[in-house]
Amino acid sequence: MRFASAGKSNGASYAAAGKAVANSAANIFDVQRKTGPDYGGLSKVAMKTASEEKIAGMKAEATVARAGIKAVAGMKQAQIETEVFKRGQEIKNKQRKAGGLAAIGKMAGAGFLAATDNTKGRERPKGDLQGLYDSWKTNHAAIKDRHKSESDAIGDYKPGTFEAPDSSVGGGSGKKTGGSGSSSNLGGQTFDISKLTDDDYNELSYVISSEAQLGTDDEFGVAANVLTRLQSGNYGNTIGEIIRAKGQYEGVYTGNSRYSPEIAARLKSPEGQKKIQDFFTQLDGRTEFKGQTMLHNRVKSEDPMFSSGGNFYHYAGQ
């Protein structure tokens, strides 16, 4: 019995000792928990600090980026303004050059033929601008003198007169249509070219200079056309009246015609007179003609041509 009591007493002692140890450990842990570092709080602080640093860095980077963009934009704008200014200067220089060339062309045009006749399709070969300019420089004084003489000639001009040939020559009626100038109503297929005066040849050269393909047989074709109109009596009583009739010969009423002693000489030569008479016969009363731009309307079997690059001739109404 004594041993059993002793055993119970020892067990209680062990239990009490164990409880005391456990309480001591709990007390130590509680002290450590209350007095040790707050790792959770430290983590929150660290995260907040890192976040603020990141935001500050982003703001700084954005400020730098905006400054860079603004600087680049300013440089680009300056570059654009410089290019615009340079381009404007180039355009002004080109305009000044174009104005100079236009003035040269205008002066050269005072002594040379226009390149095209748009209204009725009568065209002439286009000349080289530099060649025209060089010729103008070389012959400027002569051109001025010629213009003065032409003006004087216009003021002194008196149209020639015709006497109708005998009816035995080409079946003419011998009837004169009246008027103070040259006129004839022959009604046949010939024209008495011997009756043409120097003034008449000068007037023919005037209209031919702007209406024919120069240097070709088309010159004599235009002369034959004018004489055909003269013979018809429906276009005027003189060569001067016919070529200056309103709306008829565009080269004349647009101011592109010039008196040409060279053309007049070709017309007056024996060969020239023969061609005029021959072409007058071929026209057979055709009083109209058109140029290269209207060539698609030509009927080859009906509309004669005297030069492949010149006019084609047709009856009124075609």
Does residue 161 sit within a domain?
yes
User: For residue 76, what are its two tokens?
Assistant: 């680009």
Does residue 135 sit within a domain?
yes
Does residue 67 sit within a domain?
no
What is the distance between the alpha carbons of residues 93 and 266, in angstroms, rounded to a whole number?
46
Dihedral in degrees, nearest 10, Cα atoms 223, 228, 230, 232: -170
3-state secondary structure of 115: coil
pLDDT for 189: 63
Does residue 49 sit within a domain?
no
Segments of the chain scoring below 50 in pLDDT: 110-119, 123-127, 157-188
Does residue 99 sit within a domain?
no
Asked if residue 309 and residue 174 are part of one domain, the reply reads yes
Domain range for 17 is 1-34
Q: Is the dihedral of CA 296, 297, 302, 308 positive or negative?
A: negative
User: For residue 136, what are its two tokens?
Assistant: 């103008």
pLDDT for 223: 96
Residues 6+ apart with CB under 8 A from 263: 204, 205, 208, 209, 214, 219
User: Could you tell me which of 158, 263, 186, 185 has the C-alpha nearest to residue 220?
Assistant: 263
Q: Which residues pair with 116 in a beta bridge?
A: 123
Whole-structure pTM over 0.85, yes or no?
no
Does residue 54 sit within a domain?
no
Asked if residue 183 and residue 309 are part of one domain, the reply reads yes
pLDDT for 186: 37
Is residue 231 within 8 A of residue 171, CB to CB? The reply is no
Does residue 98 sit within a domain?
no
Does residue 301 sit within a domain?
yes
Per-residue pLDDT reduced to its tens digit, 192-243:
898 999 999 999 999 999 999 999 999 999 999 999 999 999 999 999 999 9
Q: Provide the number of structural domains found in the chain.
A: 2
pLDDT for 118: 39
305 phi, psi to nearest 5 deg? -135, 150
What is the distance between the alpha carbons of residues 98 and 75, in angstroms, rounded to a whole number?
34
pLDDT for 19: 77
pLDDT for 308: 94
Asked if residue 156 and residue 14 are part of one domain, the reply reads no
